[in-house]
Every structure is written in structure tokens, then in C-alpha cells.
Amino acid sequence: MDFILVDDPAPGVRRITLNRPERLNAFTFDMYQALLRAFEALRYDLDTRVVILTGAGRGFCSGHDMTEAVGVPAWVPPGVGPAQFTKTMLAELARIPVLMKTLPQPVICAVNGACGGIGYAFALAADLCLAGASAKFINLIHNAATGCEGGLSWMLPRAIGAQRAAELLLTARPVLADEAERIGLCLRAVPDDQLMDEALALAEQIKLNVPIGVWLTKQSLWLNQGVGSLEQAIEVEHRAVFISQSTADAAEKKAAVAEKRTPEFRNL
């Protein structure tokens, strides 16, 4: 059985589905590497404009499988001590949210049902997160005797503010879909049966814009979370403007707007 499914539900849209529904898509070590391969395949894929990450069945992801079914991490050398094991094991897991942020394509996370542990981090690492009415965000990492990993302590305060993040990280209180929308944990909450349609509609809106302009806007957005001044942020933007406006696709976008038609981009 393939625990990571990849398909293209619309032109230019790559959908990655966590597919272990009998365990609420809890991750095994092999699943982490399969997900990494799926994302890495997109790094230079100019035909894929938007990525959607979702979960099969009644849950998005319940985190890391804490049973024996999880297996052993193939990337950790045998015979190392417990500290070395944990450090090496987590280093591979940590690549996933970083890769999601650095992919050129915007990543939309469509959260259905339970979203816990490392799944919580993946929802935050997405550029846009839609929550079905059944969505429930919960910091299950406390079940492993620690309260954050995968960048949660960096991403959550930036999404909802430091004080709210402190409460959710320290208490592991669950957040349901309507509250998640209200506090900015997700973009919006939608009925479960409309979740994928909403994600695809959002992808179509993104696809109307110049491909390289979208890629550079995403890059500027996240790079500028860490710059030291407004002037530095503007300089990052200006360089992106120059690159994007020099393309044939930029001219096509302007022509399409003037002619009131859908643009036809060619990555030129």
C-alpha cells in the first residue's frame, strides 16, 4: 500500500495525500521519506503551479505513530547512542516543513479531522491552510514528553501571536475549526464536503498570476519574516519585481487583463 498518494486533480495542481487512514494518517519513518521525495520532486517542476496537501479518510494526520508499526529510521546509523539517534532522526523530519516553505509553489493544506503532532507543524508550514468543519488542531507532541518540534515554536506565534501560541503549546488544548479561523490558525473553515473544492478554487485563483511572480512573492513573504528592517524587506521585493517583469509571462498577464481573458503562461 502506498502511504503517500500523488495525483493531479487539475492542470498545474499537484495533490499529495497522506494515505494511512486506519491510523488517522499517523506517520511511520518510511512515510516521512516518501513525503520528502514527493516534495523534492516539485523543486524544479515548472508545470506544477500549486501543491495541495491533505489526508485520506476521517483525519488529516494524528502525528507520529507511537506503536511498533512505525519501524526504524533507515537514515540513522546503527549502534549510535540515544542522543545521537534522536538528533539524527529529527534532522530528517525537520526537512519537511522547511522544504514546504522553500518550494517555489504555494502549498495549500486541506485539513480534515484530526490534525496533531507533526501534522500540526505541516499545517502551519503550508502557505495557506483550509480547515474542514471536522478539523481539530491539537499539540499531541506532549504525548512524547515534549511540547514542540518541527518548527511549531517558531511558526505558531507568527500565525496567531505569542500569548495564544503559549497557551496552545503549553496546554495542548484542542482548537476546533471555527476557532482556528477566528484566531488565524487557518485561512477559513468550510464544510467538510466542500474542503477539496475550496482548495482547488483557491489554487485556480493563484494560477491566474504570473508563475515566476507567484514563486518570488512566496519567497519574499517568507524571507521577509526574518529581515531586520522595512528597507531590507523592500529591497527583497524590488529584486523580485525586476525578475518577474522581465519575462514574457508578465507581458501575457498584462495582455490578458486588458483583453479580459484567462492568461496562457509558458514559463518564458
Q: Is residue 154 predicted with pLDDT exceeding 80?
A: yes
What is the band of 72 on the pLDDT scale with cuts at 50, 70, 90? confident
User: What tens digit of pLDDT does each residue of 113-138 get?
Assistant: 999 999 999 999 999 999 999 999 99
- Rounded to two decimals, what is the model's pTM? 0.95
State the amino acid at position 222 in one-letter form.
W
pLDDT of residue 145: 72
Q: Is residue 69 predicted with pLDDT exceeding 80?
A: no
Rg (CA), the chain: 19
Q: How many CA atoms lie within 13 A of 100 on its CB side?
A: 25
Q: How many helices (H) and strands (E) does the chain have?
A: 10, 10
Mean of all residue pLDDT scores within the chain:
95
Mean pLDDT of 88-116: 96
Q: Which CATH class is domain 4-206?
A: alpha beta
Backbone angles phi and psi of 9, in degrees to 5? -70, -15
pLDDT of residue 1: 76
CB of 116 closer than 8 Å to CB of 63:
yes
Q: What is the pairing mode between strands 107-111 and 4-10?
A: unpaired
Domain coordinates of the chain in residue numbers? 4-206, 209-259
**Quick one: DSSP state of residue 113?**
B
**Burial class of residue 210 (count of CB atoms within 10 Å of its CB; 0-12, 13-18, 19+):** buried
Q: What angle do CA 6, 107, 145 make, to 5 degrees?
A: 90
